Amino acid sequence: MNNEILNDGVINIGLHKGMVNLEFGTEELSKKDDAGIVEIFAKLQIEMSLQVFLETYSGIKNHAGETD
């Protein structure tokens, strides 16, 4: 079983009714708009409480060795 999800990064972060919504996306290299810019599509959406988001963000910063 493979639980890996591959994407190109977070494309949108929203806040609605106290919940944080993260949309992860990927570039479709074969699809471009009229200006020749590669299109990005949302592939995964995660919704979490603000408290959980802040705890997760703090954990990521600490893991990366960042300080405030």
1 — pLDDT class (breaks 50, 70, 90): low
Element (H, E) at 60: helix 50-64
Task: With H, G, I as helix, E, B as strand and everything else as coil, classify residue 39.
Answer: strand
Q: Are the beta carbons of 27 and 13 closer than 8 angstroms?
A: no
pLDDT at 52: 94
Q: Which tens digits make up the pLDDT trace of 11-31?
A: 899 998 889 999 998 888 888
